[in-house]
Amino acid sequence: MDIEMTAIADFAAALLLAPLLPGIINRVKAFFAGRRGQSVFQLYYDLRKLLAKGAVYSSASGFVFRLGPVASLAALLAALAVMPAGGHGSLASFDGDIILFAYLLALSRFVTVLAALDTGSSFGGMGASREVFFSALAEPAFFLSLAVLAKKAGAFSFNLIFLSANPVTGTPLLLVLAALFIVFLAENCRIPFDDPNTHLELTMIHEVMVLDHSGPDFALISYGAALKMWLLGAIVVRLALPFGGGTGGAQSPALFLAGIFALAIAAGIVESCMARLRLLKVPALLLSASMLAFAAFMVS
């Protein structure tokens, strides 16, 4: 694999800029609420603070609790290597890397859920059970969208899909984007599915799983969450913006960054305008995402 310099630059950019996204979303929510809101770089400060702190481990937890954050971040970093996140080709690209990408996300979810169960508290179990339930329904939607992309692009590798001669356009594009946006919100536990900054453990999903982590572990987890947002956002962005336009040439990184920040803003807007869905209504939304992707497949 000839790894050009641009791919490495994109990889580094992603690592650096990922924590910005949550900051932007919180800033947009604050703006809508008439508040000034915390600084966009708040997550950077938190990370620096957490990495400097000690840690408190629950007496009930064991080895898996400590392995959770580490393995989850490792999986996300590997997923980043496969995703052409910077506007050019990705570090590693081969037939079927979209499958590996999906299953790396599944691996990070797997170890986070196990870490939550290891705390021995009923809240950890509750969060884990809901997380597993929603991701089981989100998975088919994600794969159906990938199928649509693969069918249009005639190949099933991210690079070839994004740089393909005839990208997805027209109604199929809209349908796939809608589906992927719903999956983006579900996977990153944004508002319609889960409220990231709620205080009532009974309602949390993602937050309650990481409730017991502290110090450097919590830093790794928050950084992982930001990275995950970047990854899934990159897919939506690379599809939405009219890159390449059939030439298959490299797209300017600046345009890509603008796109991903715009996506963050859109997510912030959605979060400000909607309240959390009732738990029993969430599966309906995920199924609608699958329907959208299926419709896209039919149409294209």
Partner 1 sequence: MLLFTAALLALTISAALSLVFSKKPAWSAFAGAGGNVLAAALGLAALVFAGAKPHLNLPWAVPGGQFHIALDPLSAVFLAPMFVLCACGALYGVSYGGLNRRTGTGFLLYNLLTASMAVVFTARNAMLFLAAWEIMALCSFLLVVTDYDNPETRNAGWVYLVATHIGTAFIIALFALAWHKCGSTEFADFPKAFASLPFAAVALLSVTGFGAKAGFFPFHVWLPKAHPAAPSHVSAVMSGIMIKTGIYGIIRMISFCPPPPFWFGGLLASIGIISGVGGVLFALAQRDIKRSLAYSSVENIGIIALGLGMGWMGAASGRTDIAFIGFAGALLHVINHAFFKGLLFFGAGAVYHATGIRDMDRLGGLRRFMPVTALTFLAGSAAIAALPPFNGFISEFLIYSGAFKAVVAGRGAGFGGLAVILGLSLTGGLAAACFTRAFGIIFLGEPRAKLAVEHGEPPLMAGPMVALAALCLFIGLAPQFAARLVTEPALMLSGAPYADLPSRLQPAGLLGCAVVLLSLALWFFRKRLLAGRAVASAPTWGCGYSAPAASMQYTASSFAQPLVDFFGIGTAKKIEEPHGLFPSHAMFRSETPDIAKSRFYRPLFENIEQRMSSLRVIQHGNIHAYILYIAAALVALLVWTLK
Q: Which amino acid is at 62?
A: G
Considering the complex, what minimum distance in angstroms separates the CB of residue 84 from partner 1?
15
Positions in 176-235 near partner 1 (CB under 8 A) = 201, 211-212, 215-217, 220
Cα distance between residue 1 and residue 3, in whole Å: 6
Query: Token digits for 274?
Result: 């909607």
Under rule CB under 8 A, which residues in 276-295 are in contact with partner 1? 283
Query: Of the listed pieces 21-29, 72-80, 162-170, 260-268, which binds partner 1 according to CB under 8 A?
Result: 72-80
Among 13, 57, 253, 272, binds partner 1 (CB under 8 A): 57
Query: Measured between alpha carbons, how far is 118 from 63 in angstroms, rounded to an integer?
Result: 9
**CA pair distance 103, 196, nearest whole angstrom:** 24
Choices 25-33, 96-104, 169-177, 263-271; region in contact with partner 1 by CB under 8 A: 96-104
Of residues 5-34, which lie at the interface with partner 1 (CB under 8 A)? Answer: none
CA 166 to chain centre: 26
- Cβ neighbours of 46 (radius 10 Å): 17
Binding segment (CB under 8 A) for partner 1, from list 29-37, 67-75, 181-189, 229-237 = 67-75
Position among 31, 44, 143, 261 found at the interface with partner 1 (CB under 8 A): 143
Q: Report how far residue 112's alpha carbon sits from residue 96's, in angstroms, rounded to the nearest whole number.
A: 25
Q: How far is the CB of 52 from partner 1 (least distance, A)?
A: 9
Total of chain residues touching partner 1, rule CB under 8 A: 82
Residue 183 CB burial class (10 angstroms; 0-12, 13-18, ≥19)? buried
Angle at 274 between CA 192 and CA 109, to 5 degrees: 20
List binders of partner 1 among 111-140 (CB under 8 A).
113-114, 117-126, 128-130, 132-133, 135-140
Cβ distance 111 to 71 under 8 Å?
Answer: yes
Residue 120: CB minimum distance to partner 1, A: 4
How large is the C-alpha radius of gyration of the chain? 19
Q: Which is nearer to partner 1, 81 or 240 (CB)?
A: 81
Among 21, 28, 90, 142, indicate the residue that binds partner 1 (CB under 8 A): 142
Q: Which is nearer to partner 1, 69 or 86 (CB)?
A: 69
